[in-house]
Amino acid sequence: GNSVTQMEGPVTLSEEAFLTINCTYTATGYPSLFWYVQYPGEGLQLLLKATKADDKGSNKGFEATYRKETTSFHLEKGSVQVSDSAVYFCALSPSGAGSYQLTFGKGTKLSVIP
């Protein structure tokens, strides 16, 4: 079956530090890949996505590149801010039938301190 593995948290960084959250996946074919973010007291929000190999998704200074050869979709940001403190979820959507069904990782809690 499909699965997503992401690095365990919590991750604590100082403001302006570089962020990497690792994500690898298992799926047949060519899934679409996503990062969702959950800020305190809010619902999950789509942060960025990539739908085919070598695509780079980007939003709000975050980036992730779909690497088919390593089945990875690592999230990066060059300079984090306190407002980036949240829980980040990597997810996949299978190709073909059932593409509406997202499979999520366990989430990584990020805390950014001033």
Partner 1 sequence: GAGVSQTPSNKVTEKGKYVELRCDPISGHTALYWYRQSLGQGPEFLIYFQGTGAADDSGLPNDRFFAVRPEGSVSTLKIQRTERGDSAVYLCASSLYSSGGRGELFFGEGSRLTVL
Binding site for partner 1 (CB under 8 A): 4, 31-32, 34, 41-46, 49, 51, 89, 91, 93-95, 98-107
Report the SS3 class of residue 12.
strand
Closest by Cα among 108, 99, 87 to 44: 87
User: Which of residues 93 and 110 has its CB atom nearest to partner 1 in the complex?
Assistant: 93
Residues 6 or more apart in contact with residue 60 via CB below 8 angstroms: 47
Least CB distance to partner 1 at residue 49 (A)? 5
User: Which of residues 33 and 112 has its CB atom nearest to partner 1 in the complex?
Assistant: 33
Tokens 């190709």 belong to 95
Residues in the chain: 114
**70 Rama class: left (phi>0) / alpha (psi -120 to 50) / beta:** alpha
User: Which of residues 5 and 85 has its CB atom nearest to partner 1 in the complex?
Assistant: 5
Least CB distance to partner 1 at residue 102 (A)? 6
Least CB distance to partner 1 at residue 35 (A)? 10
Closest by Cα among 7, 3, 2 to 107: 7
User: Which of residues 4 and 86 has its CB atom nearest to partner 1 in the complex?
Assistant: 4
Least CB distance to partner 1 at residue 43 (A)? 4
